[in-house]
Structure 1
């Protein structure tokens, strides 16, 4: 079952397997890579969206890099968004972990972005709006 807008993941998945993969941490017991492949895609798409945001506004490369560094450069911002949305209750962590760590949360947020990008037919506009709806970039206009 997909989560409706306003819930932990403000996106309706056509392929719920993508959502499930995005919420699964790496584990020797199930998927060895967990959500890491989707996280790589999500990281790249998020960076593209951030760079386009700066490019459209005529920002310098330094300003664009600063924005990217602030939003994606550390796990702090990504993990805060995930914890605020309550994603820690949805992640399937490695059985050896007792709680969701910051790095796992950041990876999961990136994986969800990657899953949305793929599920939407690689639609960057839909993915950008998802990122805004997620609360990661609340000031990112159309």
Structure 2
């Protein structure tokens, strides 16, 4: 079994199509939106994961909202993506010479969405992916 801390993407996709889409910037191919559709899903699922965790912990709505903002912040998503080395896997727009902050943040959200879709919308699998990715290091496994 592989060590999730050493993997760029700690999930084995059954269908490579969502993974390919998640790693593609807008304008990088004939698909003009790139990974943005999956990023919308990933953002929503990440917020839901945090909401459910906050609920089980008895957090106030304010605490849960603060946690959502901090975890979902572009700088946090970007840091996790670069720490994982995802820039080596992203297919950027040809006009970009490097992976920008917003692209990395969008890609991390898109990967969450891709796992959710690939796992047939399995919340527990997606939650574990988010933990393994390092976005929620202080959530109990």
> Does the CA-based 8 Å contact 2:28-2:91 persist in structure 1?
no
Query: What is the root-mean-square deviation in Å for CA atoms of aligned residues?
Result: 1.5
Measure the CA separation in 2 of the matches of 1:91 and 1:97: 12
Spell out the pairing of 1:37-76 with structure 2 (5 A cutoff). Answer: 37-72=37-72, 74-76=73-75
Counterpart of 2:115 in 1: which secondary structure?
A: helix
**1:21 lines up with 2:30 in the alignment:** no
Return the structure number with greater relative CO, CA threshold 8 A, min gap 6: 2
Counterpart CA distance in 2 for 1:59 and 1:4 is: 32
- Mapped contact 2:26–2:32 kept (Cα < 8 A): yes
Task: Tell me if structure 2 keeps the 8 A contact 1:43–1:110.
Answer: yes
Native 8 Å contact 2:24 2:90 kept in 1:
yes
Q: Which runs of 5+ in 2 are unaligned?
A: none
TM-score by length of 1: 0.94
Q: In structure 2, the residue corresponding to 1:52 is in which secondary structure?
A: helix
